Amino acid sequence: MLLNASGCLDALIAPDVARQLDGFVTKTITPLPREGNAPPRIAETAYGMLNAIGLANPGRERFLADTLPQLRELALPLWISVGGFCAADYAETCARLHDVEAIELNFSCPNVDEAADSAAEIVAACRAATPLPLYAKLSAAHPDVAEVARAVATAGADGLSLINTLRGLALDPRTLKPTLARGTGGLSGPSLKPVALAAVHACHAATDLPIVGMGGITTAQDVVEFLVCGAQHVALGTVLFADPDAPKRIRDALGVVQPDDRRLSARLLEFRANAVA
Amino acid sequence: MDARRERLRVAGAEPIGLYTLLRLERGDLDPGAPGQFFMLEAPGRLLPRALSLCLAPTGELAFLIDPIGPGTEALCELEPGDEIHVFGPLGLGFRLDVERPLLVGGGIGMAPLPFLAEALRFPPAVLGFRTPEHAEAAALLPGAELAIDPTFVTELILPGQDVLACGPEPMLHAVAERCPGAQLAWEAPMACGYGGCYGCAVEIDGELKRLCVEGPVLVSRAA
């Protein structure tokens, strides 16, 4: 299954891009509206980019009343990315969501100052609030991401989304001041891929949860590497900015039209057994 | 979205003063409306660069580029026969239903004005530049009145004109103050150009909105 990474595509503005995917993941929804951070919010780095958007979103009520009904008209499986600042924030939004494919719990946006409660506590609260599939989106900044994966699995998560961006800093070459107004931002793009592959591999070994792998995927070869390391599904992020046709290009290159092609699965199991020690 | 993404061949890249006019074979891309922009693949860089269309000669799309960083430098170094991906046209351009148009450009902000001038049958234009070398680009807009630093282009604007402007932020703020209702083409760093990255947020009527979707041309509010 091929998804977009949360916050990297607006399906209402670019439905043709969204329709190349097997499902659309929304930008993270928080209980209250958020304007996001002051510009500049993005900066290109070597082999990657930083963003400090700051979870800009219309807030839960406007999302449920306006955005979600419009998204449903696209007739795509919808994954709703949910954020907040305490377990109750997440759980209340989860309780209000119905008839969507899955909920992705965003624990790891590095652009928000307030620290979230522990991931397991949030998952447990959300588990009690909804029967919908819950995917925990984890950061690889934790010293032992596999430990977090085990904790959210025990708390009732149905899957993992790996990984979110990592905190980084870029300086303007002339002024030597931070390029982003906020200072630091989340690093994404190809420079993140090795970190993401390691996290996917570690969490695959630590839990039985299905994994949506993401982080710097640009080519079909990248997708295969994520699958080999233990991801069942993959999501495209930064590559969508440079190439709105990337989902189709990558799918064509994989030669896989059916997301759950059995031959591919068998081949990947063999890859995993051989390639990942 | 009427935008398409295609690989286009470079027809030419000629210096005009300190800028470069990059001409691409058009392929099946539509030039769009004046003030709209395209995302140009910058060789060797991760993200494309947003550039408004400068001219639309038959069969071509031409962009005026100021080499201010590694991406724009790579674009200026392209040679005939090279190919890059181009995505567009994107965003909302200038409204052309104006009675007494005056085009106002500052520096590389003059880029969309030659195409706009064609669409409006060559109305009066004023251009401001930092140096005489930068001002050589005014050759792309014959007949334009010039202001070179320390004279400001805003000093050449007379009352009662429908201003369509593009230039650095301080210039646009100054124009907005003098000319309520002016159409202003703004610039912001953007990763995607089609609403996905939320990088190009600017404050519009007290709210942060995406310049690539709501702009880049915005009408200045009445004072």
Asked if residue A26 belongs to a domain, the reply is yes
- Average pLDDT over all residues of chain A: 90
| B173-209 pLDDT, tens digit each | 999 999 999 999 999 999 999 999 999 998 777 778 8
Chain B within 8 Å of A238 (Cβ-Cβ)?
A: yes
Picking from B38, B69, B90, the residue at the C-terminal end of a domain is B90
- Average pLDDT over all residues of chain B: 94
At residue A258, does pLDDT exceed 60?
no
Interface of A with B in 208-237 (CB under 8 A): none
CB B29 within 8 A of CB B4: yes
B201 vs A41, A190, A243: nearest CB: A41
CB A106 within 8 A of CB A137: yes
Pair (B80, B125) in one structural domain: no
Pair (B130, B163) in one structural domain: yes
Q: Do B195 and A240 touch (CB under 8 A)?
A: no
**Which CATH number covers residue B186?**
3.40.50
Hey, what are A17's tokens? 């891009």
Q: Do B189 and A41 touch (CB under 8 A)?
A: yes
Contacts of A238 in chain B (CB under 8 A): 46, 191
Pair (B107, B78) in one structural domain: no
A145-154 vs A193-206: helix axis angle to the nearest 10?
A: 50
Contacts of A53 in chain B (CB under 8 A): 197-199, 201
Q: How many domains does chain A have?
A: 1
To test the contact with chain B by mutation, choose from A241, A245, A248, A249 the residue with the greatest count of B C-beta atoms within 10 A, namely A241
**Which CATH number covers residue A151?**
3.20.20.70
To test the contact with chain B by mutation, choose from A44, A55, A165, A187 the residue with the greatest count of B C-beta atoms within 10 A, namely A44
At residue A112, does pLDDT exceed 70?
no
Q: Considering only alpha carbons, which residue of chain A is nearest residue B201?
A: A39
- Per the model's pLDDT, the better-predicted residue between A118 and B217 turns out to be B217
Find the domain containing A114 and state its range.
2-39+54-171+192-275
Q: What percent of chain B has pLDDT over 90?
A: 89
Q: Which helix (H) or strand (E) holds B199?
A: none
Asked if residue A88 belongs to a domain, the reply is yes
Pair (B112, B204) in one structural domain: yes
Q: Would you state the pLDDT for residue A267?
A: 61
Q: Name every residue whose Cβ is closer than 8 Å to that of residue A236 and which is 6 or more positions away in sequence.
A: A2, A3, A4, A5, A8, A21, A214, A217, A246, A247, A250
State the Cα–Cα distance between residues A193 and A18, nearest whole angstrom. 23
Asked if residue A165 belongs to a domain, the reply is yes
Q: Name every residue whose Cβ is closer than 8 Å to that of residue A105 and which is 6 or more positions away in sequence.
A: A82, A83, A90, A119, A122, A123, A126, A134, A135, A136, A137, A157
3-state helix/strand/coil string of A72-131: HCCCCCEEEEECCCCHHHHHHHHHHCCCCCEEEEECCCCCCCCCCCCHHHHHHHHHHHCC
Closest by CA position to B110, among listed B81, B140, B149? B140
Q: Considering only alpha carbons, which residue of chain B is nearest residue A241?
A: B192
**Band of pLDDT at residue A111, cut at 50, 70 and 90:** low
Asked if residue A118 belongs to a domain, the reply is yes
Pair (B174, B112) in one structural domain: yes
Pair (B78, B113) in one structural domain: no
Q: Would you state the pLDDT for residue B198?
A: 95
Distance from CA of A218 to the nearest CA of B (A): 10
Pair (B117, B200) in one structural domain: yes
- Per the model's pLDDT, the better-predicted residue between A86 and A72 turns out to be A72
Q: Considering only alpha carbons, which residue of chain B is nearest residue A245?
A: B5
At residue A109, does pLDDT exceed 70?
no
State the Cα–Cα distance between residues B75 and B66, nearest whole angstrom. 10
Asked if residue A230 belongs to a domain, the reply is yes
Q: Do B5 and A51 touch (CB under 8 A)?
A: no
Pair (B17, B60) in one structural domain: yes
Contacts of B206 in chain A (CB under 8 A): none
**Band of pLDDT at residue B129, cut at 50, 70 and 90:** very high
Asked if residue A268 belongs to a domain, the reply is yes
CA atoms within 13 A on the CB side of A224: 16
Mean pLDDT of B64-72: 96
**Which CATH number covers residue B17?**
2.40.30.10
Is the C-alpha dihedral spanning B158, B164, B170, B174 positive or negative?
positive
Contacts of B85 in chain A (CB under 8 A): 243
Contacts of A27 in chain B (CB under 8 A): 198
At residue A19, does pLDDT exceed 90?
yes
Asked if residue B45 belongs to a domain, the reply is yes
The β-bridge partners of A226 are none
Other beta carbons within 10 angstroms of residue A224's beta carbon come to 18
Q: Considering only alpha carbons, which residue of chain B is nearest residue A36?
A: B208
Asked if residue A44 belongs to a domain, the reply is no
Q: Do B194 and A44 touch (CB under 8 A)?
A: no
Asked if residue B25 belongs to a domain, the reply is yes
Pair (B47, B157) in one structural domain: no
Picking from B28, B63, B90, the residue at the C-terminal end of a domain is B90
Picking from B46, B61, B90, the residue at the C-terminal end of a domain is B90
B196 vs A8, A36, A56: nearest CB: A8
Asked if residue B95 belongs to a domain, the reply is no
Asked if residue A65 belongs to a domain, the reply is yes
Find the domain containing B187 and state its range.
101-219
| A189-221 pLDDT, tens digit each | 999 999 999 999 999 999 999 999 999 999 999
Q: How many domains does chain B have?
A: 2
ipTM: 0.92
Q: Do B1 and A48 touch (CB under 8 A)?
A: no
- Distances in whole angstroms, Cα of residue A196 to Cα of each of A43, A143, A222, A229: 21, 13, 11, 10
Q: Do A238 and B48 touch (CB under 8 A)?
A: no
Pair (B194, B136) in one structural domain: yes
Contacts of A8 in chain B (CB under 8 A): 196-197
Q: Do A44 and B197 touch (CB under 8 A)?
A: no
Asked if residue B96 belongs to a domain, the reply is no
| A150-176 pLDDT, tens digit each | 999 999 999 999 999 999 999 999 999
The β-bridge partners of B129 are B148
Pair (B106, B84) in one structural domain: no
A56 vs B188, B201, B202: nearest CB: B201
Pair (B33, B111) in one structural domain: no
